[in-house]
Amino acid sequence: MGRHERFADVEGLIQDGRVHKSVYVDPAIFEREIELIFGRAWLYLGHESQIPVPGSFITTRMGRQPVIMVRQHDGTVAALFNRCSHRGAKLCTDEGGQVKRFVCCYHGWAYEIDGALAEVPLPDGYPANYVKGSGLDLVRLPRVASYRGFVFASLVPEGPSLTDFLDYMATSIDDMVDRSPTGEVIAAGGVSKHAYNANWKLVIENHNDTLHPRFVHASSIAAARDQDDQVHSDGAGEIAIRQMRQNGAPTQVWEDLGIWTSRYGHSFMGDYHSDRTLLVQTDDPVQIEYRALLDARVGPARAADILSVNRFNSIIYPNLSFMSRFRQLRVVHPVAVDRTELYTYTFKMVGAPEQMFRDSIAFANTVNGIGSLVLTDDLETYERVQAGLDAEGGEWVDAARGLGGDVAEANGTLRGSTGTSEINLRNQFAAWRRYMTGAAF
C-alpha cells in the first residue's frame, strides 16, 4: 500500500492487535474524526466553579467549534456557539470573565447571557420588530449536562445520556470529589497550556501506557535517584523527586497494577503510586488534620473507603484525561492531524489544609508544566512517533500486548491480563471505529 493510499472503508483500518498508520497521519481521516468523533461525543467543557455567578463565563472549543460556557440567572449552565449572528464574528475572545451582556466588537450587536438578541445599533435601519423574534439569537449547543460539577456537551441533539456515556468512569470523578472534606472541589491555580506536533490520539494512548516510563523517562529517573535525600526544599522538590523515582519502579510493579476499560473508549489505571503525600501518616500534621476533617464529614469507615481507592490516570474518551488523587485535569484539543494542544487545570479541595493545594500545584509542575523533566520526555516521544509513522517502513502499528487475555469484571469493565497490557489502546480504537462508522455502542 502506498504512503498516502487509503482504505475505502475505515473498518479495515482497525484489526485484531493492530491499527493502520493512516489513522495518525492522513489529513482526510483527521477531518472525519473532527466531524464524527468530536462532532458527536460528549466532550468536557469546564467545571462549574469556573462560572460561579450569573454572567460569568469561560470560552473553549469542541473540535473546531468555538464555544462559550456561561452561568444563567437561574443558576443553570448554558453553552453557546461563540459566533455573532449578524456577520459571524467571534463574539468572545477572553478566556473567561463576567458580563451583563455579550457585545460583538464588529457592529455592536448585544446578546443576553442566555443568547437572546437584546439590542442592535441604529435599529431604525431594520424592519419593524427585527430584534425580537428574528431568529438571530445566539445558537445554543443542543445538549449540555453536568456530573458533580464537571460540565460536558455534545454537538448533536440525540445520543446516549451523559450518565450512560460516562458509565463506570463516573467513579473516577467521584474519587476526585469525594476526597474533599467538604465534598466540593474547585478549579484553581490557573491553566497550563502546551502543544506538540503530533496526532491527538498519542497523548491519550500514552497516559495509560505503563510500559513506557522506565524508557522514556530514564534520564529524569536517573537524576532523581542521584539526588541526595538530605537536600530539602519547601516540599515541592521532594514531590518531584518521588514522582520521578516512581517512574523507575521495578518491572513487576508495572505488571501487577491494573488497567481497566469501559464503553466509549474510556480507561483508568489503578494500584499505582506510593507517594506519601497521598497517605495519612501519623507523624504528618497536614495529613492528620485532613483526615480529621474528612472523618467529621463522612465518618471514619466511609473516609477509609474513600482513601482506599487507588487510581492514577483516568481517560474519558476522546478529550479528557485526569488524575483524581492528584486533582489534575487535562483537556485534549486537536488542531490538525499532526498538531495538538493540551490544557491542564489543577483543582483544590474546598476546606482541606492549604498545604495540600500547594502540593497539588507542585505535582502539576512536575508532570504537566512546560518546564517539566517528565512532560518534555513525552512530547519528544510523540513527535518522534509522528515522524516515524509519516515515513516508509511499515503500514501497521502494533497494539497486541495482552491480546486475548482481557478479564470481564462484575462492574462491567474489562481488565487487562497484566498491568502492561495494551487493552486501553484496543478499547480506544474499538470506540474510534464505532464513531467513524456510525455504529451503535
Report the range of poorest mean pLDDT among 86-100, 203-217, 237-251, 319-333.
237-251
Using 50, 70 and 90 to split pLDDT, how confident is the model at 368? confident
Q: Mean pLDDT, to the nearest integer, of 58-81?
A: 97
β-pair partners for 317: none
User: If phi over 0 gives left and psi between -120 and 50 gives alpha, with beta otherwise, what is residue 380?
Assistant: alpha
Q: At what angle do helices 285-298 and 300-308 cross, to 10 degrees?
A: 120
Quick check: 201 and 431 in contact, CB under 8 A? no
Res 47 pLDDT > 70: yes
Instruction: Compute the distance between CA of residue 97 and CA of residue 311 in angstroms, rounded to an integer.
Output: 33
Report the range of poorest mean pLDDT among 15-19, 235-239, 356-360.
235-239
Q: At what angle do helices 373-389 and 354-367 cross, to 10 degrees?
A: 30
Res 8 pLDDT > 70: no
CB atoms within 10 A of CB 220: 23
* Per-residue confidence (pLDDT) for residue 236, from 0 to 100: 61
Using 50, 70 and 90 to split pLDDT, how confident is the model at 20? very high
Q: Classify burial at 293, counting beta carbons within 10 Å of its beta carbon; exposed 0-12, middle 13-18, buried 19 or more.
A: middle
Phi first, then psi, for residue 2 (nearest 5°) are -65, 165
Helix H or strand E encompassing 429: helix 423-437
CB atoms within 10 A of CB 281: 12
Comparison of pLDDT for 328 and 135, the residue scoring more = 328
* Per-residue confidence (pLDDT) for residue 225, from 0 to 100: 81
* Per-residue confidence (pLDDT) for residue 94, from 0 to 100: 95
Instruction: Tell me the whole-structure pTM to 2 decimals.
Output: 0.92
Domains of the chain: 43-154 (2.102.10.10), 184-437 (3.90.380.10)
Q: Classify burial at 34, counting beta carbons within 10 Å of its beta carbon; exposed 0-12, middle 13-18, buried 19 or more.
A: middle
* Per-residue confidence (pLDDT) for residue 273, from 0 to 100: 56
C-alpha cell at 45: 467543557
Res 238 pLDDT > 90: no
Q: Mean pLDDT, to the nearest integer, of 6-28?
A: 87
Quick check: 150 and 324 in contact, CB under 8 A? no
Query: Cα–Cα–Cα angle for 187, 297, 150, nearest 5°?
Result: 25
Res 81 pLDDT > 80: yes
pLDDT in tens, 148-171: 999 999 999 999 999 999 999 999
Using 50, 70 and 90 to split pLDDT, how confident is the model at 233? low
Q: How many residues does the chain have?
A: 441
Res 201 pLDDT > 60: yes
* Per-residue confidence (pLDDT) for residue 171, from 0 to 100: 97
Q: Classify burial at 127, counting beta carbons within 10 Å of its beta carbon; exposed 0-12, middle 13-18, buried 19 or more.
A: exposed
Using 50, 70 and 90 to split pLDDT, how confident is the model at 391? very high
pLDDT in tens, 406-418: 999 999 999 999 9
Using 50, 70 and 90 to split pLDDT, how confident is the model at 372? confident
* Per-residue confidence (pLDDT) for residue 231, from 0 to 100: 66
Cα–Cα distances in angstroms (integers) from residue 266 to residues 18, 188, 320, in the given order = 19, 26, 10
Q: What is the mean pLDDT of the chain?
A: 90
Instruction: Compute the distance between CA of residue 34 and CA of residue 349 in angstroms, rounded to an integer.
Output: 34
* Per-residue confidence (pLDDT) for residue 137, from 0 to 100: 94
C-alpha cell at 278: 497521598
Using 50, 70 and 90 to split pLDDT, how confident is the model at 180? very high
* Per-residue confidence (pLDDT) for residue 156, from 0 to 100: 96
Res 229 pLDDT > 80: no
* Per-residue confidence (pLDDT) for residue 235, from 0 to 100: 62
pLDDT in tens, 26-41: 999 999 999 999 999 9
* Per-residue confidence (pLDDT) for residue 7, from 0 to 100: 45
Q: Which amino acid is at 440?
A: A
Place of cell 486501553: 424
Task: Dump strand ranges (E) for 224-371.
Answer: 258-261, 267-270, 311-316, 320-323, 328-336, 339-349
Using 50, 70 and 90 to split pLDDT, how confident is the model at 140? very high
- Rg of the chain's alpha carbons, rounded to an integer? 23
pLDDT in tens, 270-304: 876 554 444 445 678 998 999 999 999 999 999 99
* Per-residue confidence (pLDDT) for residue 386, from 0 to 100: 97
